[in-house]
Amino acid sequence: MTELPFDTVAGCLVPDALGRKVRLRGWLLRSRSSGGILFLRLRDRTGSIQVTGRRDALGDEAFDRAEHVQAEGTVAVEGTVAEDRRAPEGREVRAEAIRVVDAGLPFPVFADQTEEFRLDHRHLVIRSQDHAATFRLKAELLRAFREFLDREEVLETTPPILSGNAAEGGAEAFEIDYFGRRGFLSQTAQLYLEALLAPHERVYALTPSFRAEKSRTPRHLTEYLHLEVELAWCDLDGLLDFVERMIASAVHAVAERRPKELAQLGRPPEELLAIRTPFPRLTYASAIEKLASLGLPVTWGSDLGTAEERALTLEERQPLFVTHFPRELKAFYMRRSPTDPRTAEAADLLGPEGYGEIVGASCRETDLDSLVERIRAMGGNVADYEWYLDLRRHGNVPHAGFGIGVERVLRWMLRREHIRETTPFPRTPARLTP
Ligand code: 4AD
Ligand code: MG
């Protein structure tokens, strides 16, 4: 059967496929037999369809073999597309031959098992319809981001994951033993993107980032996909404008191309098509005033936690920028605001409906002395950052950039309770396998 091309389930469902001879192969969602007829639900990458096989058409031996295929076992089928009013698609394939590829052992995963069991069997659970839809949507989102960046002439680059610097702050960095030297898994590609800026002006990288955050929250992974952009000659307004256009453009593209999968996961695509630029903007100072009025007092200088971010956006239908955070709250490389030196020219983009931070953005400090002072203040060793400081000595330009948490964006778009549902093999403090 391997020498001839196979058809797809989707191909059986187009209007003029009725009466056509087809060859399908795939996995069985389920099967049963009654009165000498086999009823198989066959799945391939394009969908699923009912396959029926009569004992008299298949022959006793083939029928008996096909009857013993387990859920998630694999078969190849030759048959004819026929009308069947009882099937959800109004179609079925009447089999003339069924070849068992792998009958399989009894499938251990079924409804109502504990979350722990399901995470232990993640390698099998990801065959579910919801996971399949989720990861197609994730691929579509990544494609849409890349298309946007291509249109904006931003160059894709490949910074390293292994590094001698903990760029976002030592506490949350995974330390590694690098042949006897101290190394770290990358928390951000930003410092390398800043170096790549001089020859290319606009660069991006899509890499995993690692955060050794012990906190178990529904929005933290220890490994996540980080899409980072760095733009030369860019100020805060230019930066926020770029971020909002990128988010809106990608979200619209996904809603237009994958409405079925979105609806399946409980997000009406119209809600995503209603995302509009410009996104509302609120300074940190105004945000804490608003929070006080909501009964969540924050003293100036304290960070906004999950509860605060949630309160700010619970009733919002559009993403919200919070800008001008106190300098001490933010990373060493963020530019001091010329108008309010207590603050950094930084912005977090919060997803609507209470989903919290999805993008972290800032203008970069160009002043060498300020950078050195801030590296010392965070307890860093200035010598480790000499190469980065060199960038300020040779053709320093105003620049800015941001990092998108891909799974965070997806969690909001797909209305998932927990971020682990947006990645096939989630890494959390409690989970390193499968
Ligand atoms: O705000 P963060 O820490 O910013 C940076 O790392 C910058 N250097 C990025 C840049 O400007 N190039 O992280 C950026 C984004 C956050 O807004 C969030 O969406 C996501 O990364 N993120 C996480 N996603 C999942 N799990 C975690 N533990 C995350 N930590 C951050
Ligand atoms: Mg952040």
Q: Which residues of 49-58 are buried (b: 16+ CB within 10 A; e: fewer)?
A: bbbbbebebb
Superfamily of domain 118-422: Bira Bifunctional Protein; Domain 2 (3.30.930.10)
Asked if residue 351 has its Cβ within 6 Å of ligand 1, the reply is no
The pLDDT tens digits for 129-185 are: 999 999 999 999 999 999 999 999 999 999 999 998 877 766 799 999 999 999 999
Percent of the chain with pLDDT over 70: 99
The pLDDT tens digits for 299-341 are: 999 999 999 999 999 999 999 999 999 999 999 999 999 999 9
Which among 209, 228, 303, 416 is the best mutation to test ligand 1's pocket, defined by most ligand atoms within 8 Å of the CB? 209
CA of 359 to the centre of ligand 2 (A): 7
Pick the CATH number of 9-102 from 3.40.50.10380, 3.30.70.100, 2.40.50.140, 3.20.20.150: 2.40.50.140
Q: What is the mean pLDDT of residues 402-416?
A: 98
pLDDT at 3: 55
Domain boundaries, the chain: 9-102, 118-422
The pLDDT tens digits for 217-260 are: 999 999 999 999 999 999 999 999 999 999 999 999 999 999 99
Q: Is 275 exposed, middle or buried (0-12, 13-18, 19+ CB in 10 A)?
A: buried
Q: Which atom of ligand 1 is nearest to the CA of 401?
A: 11
pLDDT at 170: 65
Q: Which atom of ligand 1 is nearest to the CA of 211?
A: 28
Residue 416 gets which letter from DSSP? -
Residue 45 has pLDDT above 80, yes or no: yes
The pLDDT tens digits for 69-127 are: 999 999 999 999 999 998 888 999 999 999 999 999 999 999 899 999 999 999 999 99
> pTM of the predicted model, to two decimals?
0.96
Q: Do domains 9-102 and 118-422 have the same CATH topology?
A: no
pLDDT at 166: 76
CB-CB contact of 389 with 332 (8 Å): no
Asked if residue 401 has its Cβ within 6 Å of ligand 1, the reply is yes
Residue 66 has pLDDT above 80, yes or no: yes
pLDDT at 4: 62
First to last CA, the chain: 34
Asked if residue 403 has its Cβ within 6 Å of ligand 1, the reply is yes
